[in-house]
Homo-oligomer: A and B are copies of this chain.
Amino acid sequence: MTASDSGELDFWSFVELANRRLAREYGFRHQLATELLLTLNRASTIVTYDLEASVHRPRGLSWSGFRLLFVTWLAGPLEAKKAAELTGMSRAAVSNLAKTLVSGGLLSRDPAAGDGRSVLLSLTDTGHQEMVDVFRAHNEREHEWAGALTPEEQRILIMLLDKLVTHRDQFDVRGRN
C-alpha cells in the first residue's frame, strides 16, 4: 500500500497519483518518463530547499548568492559572462547579484585587463574566508543527505544523471542563449 493509496497525499507521493491517472485515465504513453522527470525535479527541490534553509539563509546568503560565490571561489577570477554560464543564471542576474555581494564586501568587481568591456569577479579575503566557512557546513549537510545511499549507489546515481544530461547533444535542447 502506497502513500497515495492510503489517502495521505503530499509533495512526494503526488508523483504516484499523477502517474496512475495520466496512464489509466488519459492514456498518455510515456509514463515512465513522466515519473522519472517528476521525481528528479522534486528530489532536487527538496534537497535544495533544505540546504538553503538550513545552511545559507541563516548566514545571510541566498541560494543564488551562494552559487555565484561558489563558482567564483573555485573557478578563479571570472568574467561576469563566464560566471553566468557556470551558475546557470542570465548575465543580468549576475550583474544584479554582484552588486549586492560587492556591497556586502564578499565580492570584488574589477575591470578586466585585456578587454574594456569585461569585468572580473573575484572573492575578497572576507569572501574567501566566508566561503571556506559556509562550505564546511554545506558539505556536512550534503553528507547527511548522501548518507541515504551507499557510495556505490551514489556513484550509480551520478553516472545515470550524467548519462541523462549528456544525451542532450542528441536533440535540440533549449538552454540559455
Q: Measuring CB to CB, which residues of chain A are less than 8 angstroms from any residue of chain B?
A: 9-12, 14, 17-18, 21-22, 26, 28-30, 32-37, 39-51, 53-54, 70-71, 74-75, 82, 85-88, 132, 135-136, 139-140, 142-149, 151, 153-158, 160-168, 170-171, 173-176
Q: How far is the CA of A28 from the CA of B140 in the complex (A)?
A: 9
Q: Which residues of B contact A35 (CB under 8 A)?
A: 158
Q: Which residues of B contact A45 (CB under 8 A)?
A: 44, 88
Q: Which residues of B contact A157 (CB under 8 A)?
A: 36, 39-40, 157, 160-161, 164
Q: How far is the CA of A22 from the CA of B18 in the complex (A)?
A: 40
Please give me the 5 A-B residue pairs with the lowest Cβ-Cβ distance, nearest first: A148-B167, A44-B44, A33-B146, A53-B174, A30-B143
> Out of B41, B156, B175, which one reaches A44, CB within 8 Å?
B41
> Out of B11, B12, B149, B168, which one reaches A46, CB within 8 Å?
B168
